[in-house]
Amino acid sequence: MQRKPSWPAVLILVGLLVFQGLAPDLQAQAMPPPPTPQQLDQLLAPVALYPDALLAQITTASTNPQEILDVDSWLGQNQNLSVSQLTAAAQQQGFDPAFIALVGFPQVIDMMAQNIDDYAAIGSAVMANQAEVSASIQRLRAQAYAAGALRSTPQQVVQVQQDAGQPIYVIQPANPQVVYLPQYDPTVVYAGGGGAGLITFGIAIGITALLVSQPWGWGGWGWNWGGRRIYYNRGPWGGWNGGYRPPHYFYRPRPVVYQNRPGYGGNWGYRPPNYRPPRPVNRPGTRPGYNRPVNGRPPGNYRPPSNYRPPNNGRPPNNNRPPNNGQPTIQPVPNRPPNRPTNAPRPTPQRPPSNQRPPQNQRPPQQRPTATPNRPAPRPQKPPSQPRSDDQRNRR
């Protein structure tokens, strides 16, 4: 006789099905509201002058802010892998294609994690309207070009194309195998009057490992500026259709304080107090080009996954520990005899036995030292007086 399932088991099964159906909705609720066009300019200003392919990866990756934090933490646990090894391992982890391509740019991932709320707002704009995002990027590039800051350099090529009578600004690497990450201050580049030389290139990253015939390969990313859409794998990007599901959703968006961003109110000459442009930089670390949060503090409300454990319990390996427990090592002074022990008895001089002494006639005669030139000569001595005879006495 077949047993009927109990009511508690049925309720649990129904709850699981409902939760799985609502999981995408819960993820969507964690996204902030889309920004206005002016706010979008403020958010995209630090990266709008990046190469087109890299910018397409950044904007599509922003649609999953939790994955930004997960991949940033994952990169911290795999600091010694090469780019080829990272891309292979990222595919095994099930990361979205944008992140598989971005593991070759760990500085960019870390910059996004440091400013996670800004990029979450960018992701909301991408999901809501790609045309608005494309228009914002072109608007910022037009301002930088009019200011004289955006020009072709040995690191990147700037092309001005025409579409329906409107200029379109396309940015590509000058060397198809090397990408230079531009560094600039939005309060200067977009304000005008600065001229050329305001954009520097501090980091060069080889992308040979990314030039592969994979959907996430470098050649498959870009923008259809005429259609105002992002393309991935040489076709329009329309989301990841499931893709990576973070094991833990701990990110909660916070409102972006646009008063603390350049371009507030359309004034690009406005510099917020204590503002530092977000930029990918190299910082000390075991893997070149990988940077961690300053002072070991994660940005904003970032928390690492619960299953993350730092290697060696956060302590440095044995080969990185300072010698002598950090105490200074006293080195002996060269060409200096060691100190004599205070309580050691002094050795007595040993005299040879009498039968080994040289005879008296073999001893060298002792010579008195001669007078020095500066010493006066000794006076002559008087001859000794002779005794007087009797005749001499009688004469007197």
Residue with tokens 């007595």, as numbered in its chain: 348
Which H or E run includes 196? none
pLDDT in tens, 168-191: 999 999 999 999 999 999 999 998
Pairing status of strand 166-173 against strand 178-183: unpaired
* CA separation for the pair 85, 168 (Å, rounded): 37
| Residues making up the chain, counted from first to last | 396
Residue that wins the pLDDT comparison between 113 and 358: 113
Residue that wins the pLDDT comparison between 291 and 204: 204
The residues, any chain, with a CB within 8 Å of residue 259's CB and separated by 6 or more, are 272
pLDDT of residue 346: 56
pLDDT of residue 269: 87
pLDDT of residue 131: 96
Phi-psi region of 230 (alpha: psi -120 to 50; beta: other; left: phi over 0): beta
Q: Which of 56, 40, 43 is nearest to 96 (CA)?
A: 56
Encoded tokens for 393: 């006495």
- Radius of gyration for the alpha carbons in the chain, expressed in angstroms and rounded: 43
- What single letter denotes the amino acid at residue 241? N
Residue pair 63/239 in contact by the 8 Å Cβ criterion: yes
| Mean pLDDT, residues 100-118 taken together | 95
pLDDT interval class at 299 (50, 70, 90): very low
pLDDT in tens, 338-384: 444 445 455 555 565 555 555 555 555 555 545 444 555 556 565 55
DSSP annotation of 268 reads T
Encoded tokens for 226: 């005429």
* Alpha carbons within 13 A on the beta-carbon side of 127: 21
Which H or E run includes 133? helix 130-146
Residue pair 270/191 in contact by the 8 Å Cβ criterion: no
| 271 pLDDT above the threshold of 80 | yes
In terms of Cβ atoms closer than 10 Å to its own Cβ (0-12, 13-18, 19+), residue 3 is exposed
Q: Which long-range CB contacts under 8 A does 308-312 form with residues at least 24 apart? A: 308/73, 308/77, 311/77
pLDDT of residue 268: 92
pTM: 0.66
pLDDT interval class at 27 (50, 70, 90): very low
pLDDT interval class at 26 (50, 70, 90): very low
Sign for the pseudo-dihedral over CA of 354, 357, 358, 364: negative
| 317 pLDDT above the threshold of 50 | no
Please give the distance of CA 180 from its chain centroid, rounded to a whole number: 16
* CA separation for the pair 218, 222 (Å, rounded): 9
* CA separation for the pair 179, 177 (Å, rounded): 7
The residues, any chain, with a CB within 8 Å of residue 247's CB and separated by 6 or more, are 70, 305, 307
pLDDT averaged over every residue in the chain: 76
| 56 pLDDT above the threshold of 60 | yes
Residue pair 286/297 in contact by the 8 Å Cβ criterion: no
The partner residues of 180 in beta bridges, in order of sequence, read 204
The partner residues of 224 in beta bridges, in order of sequence, read 229
* CA separation for the pair 259, 271 (Å, rounded): 10
pLDDT interval class at 94 (50, 70, 90): very high
Residue with tokens 């560094």, as numbered in its chain: 183
Task: Choose the most confident range, by mean pLDDT, from 207-221, 330-344, 374-388.
Answer: 207-221
Backbone angles phi, psi at 146, to 5 degrees: -65, -30
| 28 pLDDT above the threshold of 70 | no
Residue that wins the pLDDT comparison between 4 and 179: 179
| Mean pLDDT, residues 68-92 taken together | 94
Residue pair 101/210 in contact by the 8 Å Cβ criterion: yes
| Mean pLDDT, residues 142-160 taken together | 95
pLDDT of residue 23: 46
Encoded tokens for 136: 């914002």
Please give the distance of CA 37 from its chain centroid, rounded to a whole number: 33
| Mean pLDDT, residues 206-221 taken together | 89
Residue that wins the pLDDT comparison between 37 and 328: 37
